[in-house]
Structure formats: structure tokens, C-alpha cells
Structure 1
Amino acid sequence: MSKTMAGNYFEDFGLGQEIVHATPRTITAGDVALYQGLYGSRFALTSGETFARGLGLERMPVDGLLAFHVVFGKSVPDISLNAVANLGYAGGRFGVPVYVGDTLTATSTVIGLKPNSNGATGNVYVRTVGRNQAGEVVLDFVRWVMVRRRERVATDALEEATIPDLPGAVAAADLVAPWRVVGGYDTALAGSTHLWDDYEVGERIDHVDGMTIEESDHMLATRLYQNTARVHFDQHAQAASPAGRRLIYGGHVISLARALSFNGLGNALSVAALNGGTHANPTYAGDTVYAWSEVLERLELPGRRDVGALRVRTVAAKDHPCGDFPLRGDDGKYLPHVVLDLDCTVLLPRR
């Protein structure tokens, strides 16, 4: 009997299957510094201890997307080690803040299975929950991933598909807003004068700046988050793929787009929800990522006058500045340079 694990293939998953993912991960100050070094995020809440305390937190929290990467990475060996690609997200909600010293664990439940007509792959839908050492939920999200089969099957032998009803946008009443404006809010230190009240539904913002992905950045990120998917790690194996090279981890692009969005959304201090998302096209080392955002909704939080929420669509494009707000062509398909279409909810102070 083999003592090594080759990862799960599509036929290894069962509806309702519950998986406890290995390796608890304690967040350190080194993780925070490396995250900053990878993405250059400038949001004041997760950059300055004194700024975070001024918003009523016990200390500076970890960037929510760092927690997302860690929880996501826990699930990879069991869910997507044999993935072709991670396809999308839905219904993601951030819970209690994560601090340096917290230990995160993750579990997943299989909520849907869809065999693909090529007989070589299938889509696996899972709900993954990350918790801290006290058992408190720090993140809960749905994702679906295309996974290889161990053996190709004929079309007439395909299993019946069970596709779950995917959750929509997280309701305002279900958003967790752990920080509050307890006194005056310093827009100079935050880096932007534009607060929740200053944004209009339908407004589009070109975030202007671009960031080129280096191979070393991507490999450091996947190792940092213990994301062991072969499509990211194994160039020898990927040489036989159509692209002939390793894919950039989709979460890496999410963090790049979030960091770039500071220019135009500087007071969007934290992400409260990942309502949905699609990795529209692959990204590779050497690509330069740009981003733009559209305000979809402006939400008031029940019982709160100090903080409001914006539901925004953030789109990232490779090697294509976003002054023309690229998204889809006349055929309704994503343009080839669009790599991310993300629906998220962010929290901003109000006037």
C-alpha cells in the first residue's frame, strides 16, 4: 500500500463528503511582511497598528485576503491537486478578524459534482470554512474547480450531474464589520478623501497602475500559502500542457487587483464578502496586470452610521491598461486579456 498521496481525482469525490484539511497554519509577522512584499497593498487598516487601534480594533488585523489564501491553500491537496483550473467563487463571507498569532484550520464539504462531456475531467463544487484556534469562523466560501479523472470514460457512461444552487451576493445584514469609526477619521493618513457617500452606483474607476508578475513572485506565493497544485508548481508536468508553462495562481491575481484598487478606492479598508468571481483567462509570469472597478450597489449596514458597504465589480486585465474598461466582446465572451471578474463587497467609513 502506497504511503504517498497522489491527490483526489474527480471519481474520488462524493456528494456530501466532508474533508478535514491537514496542517494548521499559525499566522506570523513574517507572513504579513511577505504579503506586503508580494502585493504592495497600501490600505491603512492592515498597514498601521495605530490606525487600526484608532478604529476600535485590539491591534492591526491581517489582510483578509491573506487569510483567504491560507484557508484556500489548506484545501488544495484534497480538492485541487489534480486540477486543470480553479473556475470560480460564490457566497464568500469574511468573519472575525485574523491577527498575528492566530492558527487557522480548514474543512470542506462537497456540494456538487458535474462530469464534463470530454470524459477526462469534471467540476467539483465545495464549500470551504476556515476557523481560528477558538473555533470562530474567519472565512466561508464556495468554489468550483475542474479536476482531472484518473481514467477517461465514454460519454454514455458519465455520471449524473448535481449542480448546486450557488449563493448570490452576501446580504448587508450578514456582513461582518469588525472596525468602527470611533472618533475623527484621518483621510490624509488613509490616503484618500473619498468616503462611502462619494461613490455612485454605476460609477466606473480605472485604477490606472499596473504590476508585472514575476515567476519568483508567483512561486513564493504558492509556497507561502502551501498551494501545491501541480499546474502552479511543476514545470516538468506543465511542459506537456497546451500552454507549456505553469499557470499563475488565481488568488495571486485577486490580491494584485485588490492592491491596485487602492488608487480610486483607498478608503475601502477591508473586504467583507466575495460574492462571486471568475478566472476568465489564464495568467502567466511576465504578464502585467491592470484593474478597474464598477460600483454595483451602495449598502447601508443595519444599526451602523459610521461604516457603509460598496458592492463592486473588480476586473483585472493582462497587458491591457483599463482606460477602456475591458470586459466582454460583441459575442458576449470575455475578451482574451480579461483574467479576473470579481464581485466583492468592501467596507468604507461614512461622512
Structure 2
Amino acid sequence: MTKTSTGNFFEDFRLGQIIRHATPRTMTVGDVALYTGLFGPRFAVQSSDAFAIAIGYDRAPLDDLLVFHVVFGKTVPDVSLNAVANLGYAGMQFLAPVFPGDTLSATSEVIGLKENSNRKTGIVYVRTRGMKQDGTAVLEYVRWVMVRKRDESAPAPGDHVPRLPTFVEARLLGSACPPIKREAYDLELAGSPYRYGDYEIGEKIDHVDGITVEEAEHQTATRLYQNTARIHFDQFSAAQSRFGRRLIYGGHVISLARAISFNGLGNAFHIAAVNGGRHVSPLFAGRTVFAWSEVLAKSELPGRDDVGALRLRTVATSDKPCADFPYKNGEDYDPAVLLDLDYWVLIPR
């Protein structure tokens, strides 16, 4: 018998299975500083206690994506340690703000299983919930991941593909954002003059800036979340894969695109929900990430006149600036596209 774990393979999962993930994580200002150093987000609400308190927060909340990555990282040893690829997300909602000093933990429910035709892998669907120390839910989402089988001849543990929402309804948004004092929201200090009313449906924004990814940076970031997926760290094993090198965690691309989007969306300070997302192609160190966004929809929130919601599609590319908004050629993605993310942000009215 061995005391070490090789993680779960596809045949180890069961429909309805509930997994409590190790290890609870108390978030600190040190985590915030490291995340800022790695990605450079500049949104004022998450950058300044003084700014956040002035508009109605208790203090500066953690960046929404830092919360997501830490919760996601908890699930990796149990769900995706033996993953071939993380395939997508749906129905993600940020439910409550998280502040330094809060402790995050996570549980997941297996809601779908589908063996692939090659019988070497299968798709596992999980619904994950992140919680604070008092039991308050801060984040909930569904993701699906392709996981290797330990034994190709093993029978499939189930065959059920769940029905997933195509988007989060606007009426469900905003619980993680307190009432905002619009008169105290200083546009000059925030770094952008544009509010909710300044954006139009169909508008496309080239975020201009590019960020080159370094090997050490993406590994440091992934360790920050306690994400243990081997494909991001183990070059000895990765050398035997079809790519021959380590893959960069897909969430790294999301955070880079979000940081880059400040140039054009500087007041979109809160990600309220992610409707869906797809990692279109892998990213490797040495490549430069660019991004552009399109406003897909706008919505006022019931009972609130302080903020409105913009539904955005943000597309990230590898080694291709986005002045011509690369996306799809017919049904196929442009070869440079890395990420296709559909999400709601809140922005002052």
C-alpha cells in the first residue's frame, strides 16, 4: 500500500458524488500583492482601500479572478490532476465579496460524465462552490474537463451530459457588489471617464496592450492558487506529450486578458458572472497575449440605479494584435485565438 495519491481518473468518478476539497486558504494582502505583480490589474476598487471605502465597500475586495483561481485550485487535486485539458465554464456567479483575512474553501458535485469514443479519456462535469469561513457562498460555477482513464478497458462510470445555462440572467447579478455611492466614484482616480451610458451594444474595443508570458511567471501564478496540475510544472513528463512542453494554465490567460482590458474598460470594476468560456487553444511561454472585447448586451439591475451590467465577449490572442478584432473565420476560430470568454461586468451609471 502507498500513502501517496495519483489523483482521480475518469473511472473513479460517480454521478452525484460530493467532494470536499483540501485545503482551506486564508487570503492575505501578500496574496493580493503577488497577484498584482504577476498580472498588473489596475481597477481602482481592488487597488485602494480608500477608494473602495468611499464608494461603499468595507475595504478593497480581492480581485474577482484571484478568488476564482484559488477556489479552482482547490479542485485540481481531486478533479483534474489527470486532466488532458480544461474545456469550459458555465453559469459562474460571484455571490459575495472576499476581503483579506477571509478563508476560502470549496466543494464540488459531479453532475455529468461522458466517455470519449477513444475510450482513453472522458469528460467530467462538476459544479463547484467556494465559501468563506462562515459558510457564505462567494462563488459558484460549472466546469467540464477531459480526464484520462487509468485503464482503457474499464467500464464508463456513467453517461450523462447535463443541460447547462447559456447565460446568467441579469436579474441575478450584483449580490457581490454593495450599493455604490456614485457621487463618490472619482472617474479621474479610477483612470477612465466612461460610465455605463457611454458603451453601446455591438461596440468593439481593441485593448491595444500585449503581455509576453514567461515560464517562471506562469508557474509562480499557478502555485499561488495551490493548483497542482502536473502539465503546468513537470517538464520531464510534458516532454513526452504531443506538445513537448508545459502548458500554461488557462486561467492565466483569463487574468492577462482581464488586466489588459483595463485600457478601454477601466470602470468595469467587478466581474459579476461568467456566462461561458472556452480555452480555444493552448498557450506556451514566450508568446505574447493581446485582447479585444465586444459589448454583447446591456442591462439595468432591478432596484439599483448605482451600477449597470455590460455583457462582454473578450477574446485573447497569441502573438497577434487585435486592431482587426480576430475571432472566427466561418465556424472556425482564427488560429491565433486562445480564449473566448462571455461574461457580465458591473460599471457605474
Query: Which position in structure 2 is the counterpart of 1:164?
Result: 162
SS of 2:328 mapped into structure 1: coil
Over 3 Å counting, the alpha-carbon distance change for 1:158 and 1:16 in structure 2 is closer
* CA distance in 2 between partners of 1:46 and 1:251 (Å): 19
Query: Which position in structure 1 is the counterpart of 2:56?
Result: 56
* TM-score using structure 1 length: 0.97
Which stretches in structure 2 are left out of the alignment for 5+ residues? none
* CA distance in 2 between partners of 1:343 and 1:61 (Å): 23
| Aligned partners of 2:12 and 2:157 also within 8 Å | no
* Farther-moved stretch of structure 1 (296-305 vs 171-180): 171-180
* CA distance in 2 between partners of 1:349 and 1:297 (Å): 16
| Aligned partners of 1:177 and 1:347 also within 8 Å | no
* CA distance in 2 between partners of 1:179 and 1:255 (Å): 23
Structure 1 residue 186: deviation in Å?
Answer: 1.1
Structure 1 residue 329: deviation in Å?
Answer: 1.8
Which stretches in structure 1 are left out of the alignment for 5+ residues? none
1:65 aligns with 2:100: no
| Aligned partners of 2:308 and 2:347 also within 8 Å | yes
SS of 1:289 mapped into structure 2: strand
* CA distance in 2 between partners of 1:274 and 1:310 (Å): 12
Q: How does 1:300-311 map to 2 (within 5 A)?
A: 300-311=300-311
Q: CA offsets per residue over residues 62-110 of structure 1, 9 Å max, x none?
A: 1011000100000000000000010000000001100000000000000
Query: Which position in structure 2 is the counterpart of 1:80?
Result: 80
Query: Which position in structure 1 is the counterpart of 2:234?
Result: 234
Query: Which position in structure 2 is the counterpart of 1:281?
Result: 281
Q: What amino acid maps onto 2:216 in structure 1?
A: S
* CA distance in 1 between partners of 2:307 and 2:314 (Å): 21
Moved over 6 A (4+): none
Query: Which position in structure 2 is the counterpart of 1:101?
Result: 101
SS of 1:24 mapped into structure 2: strand
SS of 2:262 mapped into structure 1: coil
Over 3 Å counting, the alpha-carbon distance change for 1:158 and 1:109 in structure 2 is closer
Q: CA offsets per residue over residues 150-205 of structure 1, 9 Å max, x none?
A: 01239xx6566310001221112211252333234211001001101111111111
Identity %: 63
The CA RMSD measured in Å over matched residues stands at 1.2
* CA distance in 2 between partners of 1:91 and 1:315 (Å): 19
Structure 1 residue 241: deviation in Å?
Answer: 0.4
Query: Which position in structure 2 is the counterpart of 1:112?
Result: 112
1:244 aligns with 2:261: no
* CA distance in 2 between partners of 1:327 and 1:122 (Å): 28
Q: What amino acid maps onto 1:336 in structure 2?
A: P
Q: How does 1:285-324 map to 2 (within 5 A)?
A: 285-324=285-324
SS of 1:21 mapped into structure 2: strand
Query: Which position in structure 2 is the counterpart of 1:342?
Result: 341
* CA distance in 2 between partners of 1:137 and 1:283 (Å): 32
How many residues in Structure 1 have an aligned counterpart in Structure 2?
347
* CA distance in 1 between partners of 2:225 and 2:176 (Å): 25
| Aligned partners of 2:19 and 2:109 also within 8 Å | yes
Query: Which position in structure 1 is the counterpart of 2:44?
Result: 44
SS of 2:345 mapped into structure 1: strand
Over 3 Å counting, the alpha-carbon distance change for 1:236 and 1:300 in structure 2 is same
SS of 2:332 mapped into structure 1: coil
Structure 1 residue 335: deviation in Å?
Answer: 1.8
SS of 1:45 mapped into structure 2: helix
SS of 1:336 mapped into structure 2: coil
* CA distance in 2 between partners of 1:250 and 1:108 (Å): 20
* TM-score using structure 2 length: 0.97
* CA distance in 2 between partners of 1:288 and 1:152 (Å): 38
* CA distance in 2 between partners of 1:160 and 1:103 (Å): 34
Q: What amino acid maps onto 1:341 in structure 2?
A: D
Q: What amino acid maps onto 1:340 in structure 2?
A: L
SS of 2:347 mapped into structure 1: strand
* CA distance in 2 between partners of 1:302 and 1:221 (Å): 37
